[in-house]
Structure 1
């Protein structure tokens, strides 16, 4: 089973529906036993970085998530679920992130463009496709996905960035660090391309 982590934030039902459309066994849960027994984890997130971290702390699930990720379990972060994988964010300077990936989350500087960055935008893949990534089977630099965000991750190690998008500047769109995968865009709202990305995660 794939556990979609419920900590009081996130577009949980849309995410669950996307997995169900692929025939994947996935369920929304905050039950530690179900999370521990799951094959893979999904960490959604919407809203402010600080609010997401506050809810996650209050859920009591942070030690379990750290244990499962350290043990090698695959994790997919979505939107703010990507951002909270990092050390911290300019959006909520008082909040500490999970620290799974070293780096900070910074506000988009898009002169002359509206922020938040909202709508469809093109993905630029940073690495050749393989069967071990989220973008297997997708066309290089031709796919569009759906974004809603005002902040983006800036990893210390640039090699973890697997895709970018352009919006006034180059923005991190996806990352991979060992068993951690994450997208700034919403694959569950990105049509057939998003479903392919979710299917690729299910196959990993």
Structure 2
């Protein structure tokens, strides 16, 4: 759904020794050392494809195996219990969290109106340590494109951003890591995060 090829090219750039495949083949995914679930667009369409392709079962299998897993944008939102988008859509329930729409009248610290979707560069602040933060300063800027934001349990949040409300920009659990922003579009910091992912063994 959308940003598959740009993510693949970014991984090839930071890890030329990796063999990168874009596939829904369950056997190929089961054999992969690292798995990425990217996504853009409406959550209803993404979840329909995830279930039609059997990716929901694959996510559970990858998480149980301990292999590093990375969700990006809607790929992060799909991991939550449910989303308010499209009148309410059930997610994979990997995280006990909900996906909400930015308030219609979102304002900044000076009470000035802010556009929705949240589109462009914004600062992400680290909340705790994680191997994927290696070489990245807290407050570094990443590229966002979204109208909905994730609200998980705070214990799973490893990076936050503010656009009107403060929201989870990065979450993790065991061998799973996910970002609301697009690391493949986030220049040096984004490429560093992807490089860290290729070098991560799935443990803290």
* Superposition TM-score, scaled by structure 1 size: 0.89
The one of 16, 20, 38 aligned to 1:26? 20
Instruction: State the partner residue of 1:123.
Output: 124
Query: Does the 8 Å contact 2:62/2:69 carry over to 1?
Result: no
Residues matched between the structures, number? 191
1:92 equivalent to 2:86? Answer yes
1:138-153 alignment, distance < 5 Å: 138-141=136-139, 143-153=140-150
* Cα separation, 2, equivalents of 1:13 and 1:32: 19
* Cα separation, 2, equivalents of 1:136 and 1:199: 10
The one of 134, 137, 140 aligned to 2:135? 137
* Cα separation, 1, equivalents of 2:165 and 2:120: 16
The one of 157, 160, 167 aligned to 2:156? 160
Query: Does the 8 Å contact 1:19/1:25 carry over to 2?
Result: no
Task: Give 5+ residue unaligned stretches, structure 1.
Answer: 1-8
Q: Which SS does the other structure have where 2:144 is aligned?
A: strand
* Superposition TM-score, scaled by structure 2 size: 0.89
Q: Point out 4+ residue stretches in structure 1 off by more than 4 angstroms.
A: none
Q: After superposition, what is the alpha-carbon deviation per residue over 1:121-156, rounded to whole angstroms, capped at 9, x for unaligned?
A: 1111111x4xx4211111122x1110000111111x
Task: Give 5+ residue unaligned stretches, structure 2.
Answer: 108-112
